[in-house]
Structure 1
Amino acid sequence: MEGEINNLVMVWMTVVASLCYCQTIGKIITHGTTRLLAILPVILLFLVLPLNLRTIFLGGPISFFVAWLATFKLLLFAYGKGPLSSNPPLPLPRFIPLACFPIKIQNEPSPNTAKQGQKSLTNYAIKALVFATIIPVYQNKSSIHPKVFLFFYCIYVYTGLEIILAMAAASVRAALGVELEPQFEEPYLSTSLQDFWGRRWNLMASAILRPTVYTPVRTITSRWIGRKWAPVPAVIAAFLVSGIMHELIFYNIGRSKPTWEVSWFFLLHGICLAIEVSIKKAVNEKWRLPPVVSGLMAVAFVMATGLGLFLPALMRLEADVMAHREIVAFIEFVKSVSIQLRMDKVIVFSAFGSS
């Protein structure tokens, strides 16, 4: 654990130094191909930097933050677009967290949107308690049916992701003093696949895929198939890129050759979402399914395909074994640090007492 923390410090120092360079480049080179060439070494570095971490709880989030989000934001920044581009240029204390954390600042937050962005502590406490059951469930894995265990792990993936992203957002909120948009909006309440992926699940990923993949593909294909149907290939392209980036994250975690099941999972959802969008365009609104029915179908489809494609790929990396081992190691590390602090306190008091 201590060695991994040292590696984490090294990774973040490299990220901060690289982003300082990119922010400086943004001031002296106008947006375009020249700026892209200037920051391209940083983009390539960010793609491999998470390989310095071996744990799922550190390597996984850093892969998402740095290898995916930061690289895509820098690609937009190279052409004067995205959250890192503004006039006047963003100050460094804001440029860095916006680049490497999954956050989106609310421009003019109203009281209602502020409440929406900040869920109650009870909400997070319940999800933390649910996630904490991973230890007893893992310890009794042999007595649990494999499909039931995968179902539990599906819940752990969601609760773990939301807690990690909420902690990152809370840290940035406290540092910058700004209101942030939420990352998850209770995805189990979705009314359709479009609602699930576009408005409820990992919204930062959707927000970064939209300008980098969806919009360019829609613009290009609209010349060939018209503006009405151009969103169909654009949606599929965005999901395909999402699948590839998830394959990169999985590789960084497990160092195993991709089986491409994760890519098939996202491609399948992209195709199904494109079909759903097409049906909505073609069918009168009064003929659509009630939200309760379509929502249950959408959530069931996500769960079924997740259990069949997404989670098996994750379990082949022994993610459950890694997670259990890291939780236990972290608990032992905290215990050792607290014992050392108590011993240091006793030594200090003894020294003062003897003097």
Structure 2
Amino acid sequence: MEGEINNFIVVWIIVFASLCYCHTIGKFIPKGTTRLFAILPIICLFLYLPLNLTTIHLGATTAFFIAWLGNFKLLLFAFGKPPLSSNRPISLPLFILFSTLPIKVQESDLLSHSPKSLAKNMICLSDSDQVTNKGFGTGENRTEDQKSLNTQIKAFPSHQTTKKSNKSPLNYATKIMIVAVLVQVYKYKDHIHPKIILVLYCFHIYFMLELVLAMMAALARALARLELEPQFDEPYLSTSLQDFWGKRWNLMVTSILRPTVYDPVRSISARLIGRKWAPLPAVLATFIVSGVMHELIFYYTGRLKPTWEVSCFFLIHGVCLAAEIGIKKALKGQFKVPAVVSGPAALAFVVVTGLWLFFPPVLRFNADVMAKRETAAFVEFLKDVFGRVPRFGSFNLISS
């Protein structure tokens, strides 16, 4: 474990240095193909770095943060798009924060802050551009300040529906307790039907993802003093596949795939098949890319040859979601399945296809065994570290 932690530190030092380079070239190289070629070596480096880590907790998390989300954000940055680009340069600390953590600023938070507060927290202005108290009045100065605020808001768009990201402590405490109970249940998995264990894994992955991402968001919130979009919105309350994937499940990934895959494909499709049906191939392309990226994350974690089952899982969901959207467009809202029926049906479809295609690769590299072994090794590592710390009682303070 000590060697893994050392590698983890080295990897993230390289990540921070690379992002400093990206932030710097953003000042001198205009957006477009030239900036893309300048950033391309960093994108390749971010794909390589997770190979130096072998644990689930450190390796898989790092792979998700930099090889997937970080790289997609850098691709957007190459073409001058948010969240790493705006009309005014973002400070280096926030550039690194937005690049490496799965976070997204809430629009309501931007609206609730004054332009002066936004300039202080989000945008690094030059001395000549800094907003002063004197500038907040009426007339031309106020107009310019409002324009600056609008520019910043456009640079950090949010989901269509902004929701409060801070859930109650009881909500998180309950989920932590559930995870603790699941860990204890796994001790008796030899006496439990394998299908039931797989269902428990579904809940475990959801709760762990939400808790880990919530911790990352809390860190970012403390550092940047900004309200963030929620990463999950109680997906078990979904009323359809569209509601599940678009508004409730892993919203950070959704917000990254939309500008990098969905919007470009939709724009191209609109010229070929019209605006009405353009979302269908865009949805399908988005799920295909998501499936490939999940295969990559699974490879980083287990180092096993991809079987493409996970890609098939996302392909099936992409086809079904495209069909759902197409049927809704064809019916023009004249007929709706009651939520009490469509909700459980959508969740059942997700669980059944997950048990069929998503979880077999996870079990193939023994993710549960790896996680348990890593936790035990980390506890021993902490005992060893604290065991090396001298205690006052071990010193002979009074000479005989």
Residue in 2 that maps onto 1:198: 246
Unmatched tracts of structure 1, length 5 or more: none
Question: Compared with structure 1, are the counterparts of its residues 283 and 335 closer, same or farther at alpha carbon in structure 2 (3 Å cutoff)?
Answer: same
Which of 283, 299, 306 matches 1:235?
A: 283
Q: Which structure features the higher share of helix residues? A: 1
Q: Deviation per CA, 1:214-256, whole angstroms, max 9, x where unpaired?
A: 0000111111111000100000000000000000000000110
Question: Compared with structure 1, are the counterparts of its residues 116 and 353 closer, same or farther at alpha carbon in structure 2 (3 Å cutoff)?
Answer: farther
Q: Provide the C-alpha distance between the structure 2 equivalents of 1:27 and 1:216, rounded to a whole number of angstroms.
A: 26
Contact 1:82 1:211 in 2 (8 A): no
Contact 1:251 1:257 in 2 (8 A): yes
Q: Deviation per CA, 1:76-96, whole angstroms, max 9, x where unpaired?
A: 100101200012111001000
Which of 143, 152, 171 matches 2:219?
A: 171
Q: Provide the C-alpha distance between the structure 2 equivalents of 1:50 and 1:217, rounded to a whole number of angstroms.
A: 29
Q: Deviation per CA, 1:153-174, whole angstroms, max 9, x where unpaired?
A: 1111111111111111111111
> How many residues are matched?
351
Q: Provide the C-alpha distance between the structure 1 equivalents of 2:216 and 2:331, rounded to a whole number of angstroms.
A: 42
Residue in 2 that maps onto 1:346: 393
Q: Provide the C-alpha distance between the structure 1 equivalents of 2:179 and 2:378, rounded to a whole number of angstroms.
A: 15
Q: Deviation per CA, 1:81-114, whole angstroms, max 9, x where unpaired?
A: 1200012111001000101110001233279x99
Residue in 2 that maps onto 1:35: 35
Residue in 2 that maps onto 1:45: 45
- The reply to whether residue 186 of structure 1 matches residue 234 of structure 2 is yes
What's the secondary structure of 1:183's corresponding residue? coil
Unmatched tracts of structure 2, length 5 or more: 113-160
* Offset, 1:135: 3.0
Letter of the aligned partner of 1:179 in structure 2? Answer: E
- The reply to whether residue 309 of structure 1 matches residue 357 of structure 2 is yes
Q: Provide the C-alpha distance between the structure 1 equivalents of 2:74 and 2:246, rounded to a whole number of angstroms.
A: 22
Task: Report matched runs for 1:35-184 at 5 Å.
Answer: 35-109=35-109, 116-184=164-232
Q: Provide the C-alpha distance between the structure 2 equivalents of 1:354 and 1:156, rounded to a whole number of angstroms.
A: 56
Residue in 1 that maps onto 2:22: 22
Contact 1:72 1:212 in 2 (8 A): yes
Flag as ranges the 4+ runs of structure 1 deviating above 6 A.
none
Task: Report matched runs for 1:151-300 at 5 Å.
Answer: 151-300=199-348
Letter of the aligned partner of 2:297 in structure 1? Answer: I
Q: Deviation per CA, 1:326-350, whole angstroms, max 9, x where unpaired?
A: 1222233333334444x43434xx3
The alignment's C-alpha RMSD in Å is 1.7
Contact 1:114 1:179 in 2 (8 A): no
Q: Provide the C-alpha distance between the structure 2 equivalents of 1:116 and 1:300, rounded to a whole number of angstroms.
A: 27
